[in-house]
Amino acid sequence: MGLLPMDSDILSAYDDRVFKLMLTAPEATPALMFVSSAVINRPVVNVVVRNNELPVTNIEEKAESFDVNCRINDDSQADIEMQGSRMEEEKGSDHANVKARSIYNVCDLHSSQSSKGKSYDKLIRSYQVMFCRHTVFTHRKGFIHSFSMRSDTDNELLHDGICSMFIELSKLKEVIKKPVEEMTDMERVSVFLRYADNPDYREIVNKVIESREGLIVAGEQLMSISQDERERAIFRSRRIALADQESNMATAVLNAMTERNIEIVRNALQMSMTIADIIKLTGLTQAEIEKLRDADK
């Protein structure tokens, strides 16, 4: 079972990298199917991840984007991402940058399809889905906001080929109060993503996980990834401690060598050896030897 332990030390707050790993590992297909189904609000029986360039064994691998790009069996495609931090915005822009980014991404995704040999109305539908940990639409009620191409005057649909969705995980205060059995699939997904790393909500999150197979798998993935993170942190701490120890030893040796050289230089100067000969003897520079000579005067 993918239930999260009550011991909060095992889990740490996860970001967009962990979000991607949690949905793209080979064994995580049921989790991705469940999330995709919640997004398109229709049953999904298969998904294919198309950009799993981030190795599932290393969450520290760098990449420009941590989105999940997948092809859904109903002939649609989705780009799903976790927006863990706020994008840079101009003051008073009302989150214009992140909104424009969503439009850019969904248009790019839709136009990436090959139109060769088919009419444009046969292109598959494209979804850009952004799970946001912060509020984007302060004036809108609810936490799910879906946008398509419609008339500015009478709201007539031009075409449903593209859909830009924002799921504001910051607006779940009322959702979290609902009985799990009354939650929609999108509400369950959102509660899991928002509160899985918060021990104060562990009981309700576990009930959410138990309610759907896909979330059980997601919970198992999250625990595995988090435990790996913990083990890596322990390893890094040990490695840093070892490096510090080696550095201290090297410094001690260097200090001992320096003190020995100082003694040799002073003895050599008292014996009236030339600076050139002392350089050959100690490996010190002329400036270092002259500094020692002048300090002893």
pLDDT in tens, 59-82: 444 444 457 888 898 789 999 988
Name the residue type at position 203: E
Q: Quote the pLDDT of residue 277.
A: 85
- Classified as helix, coil or strand, 47 is strand
From the centroid of its chain, how far is CA 180? Answer: 28
Q: Quote the pLDDT of residue 125.
A: 92
CB atoms within 10 A of CB 160: 10
User: Is the pLDDT confidence value at 95 over 60?
Assistant: yes
CB under 8 Å to 283, separation ≥6 — which residues?
Answer: 261
CB 178, CB 204: distance < 8 Å: no
Least confidently predicted of 16-20, 85-89, 95-99, 214-218: 85-89
User: Is the pLDDT confidence value at 90 over 50?
Assistant: yes
Report domain extents, the chain: 8-237, 240-295
pTM above 0.75, yes or no: no
Give the long-range contacts of residues 224-230, CB within 8 A, separation 24 or more: 225/14, 225/18, 225/21, 225/22, 225/59, 226/10, 226/11, 226/12, 226/14, 226/18, 227/10, 228/57, 228/59, 229/12, 229/18, 229/59, 230/10, 230/12
CB 271, CB 284: distance < 8 Å: no
Which residues share a beta bridge with 209? none
Smallest CA-to-CA distance from 208 within 226, 227, 190 is with 190
CB 215, CB 188: distance < 8 Å: yes
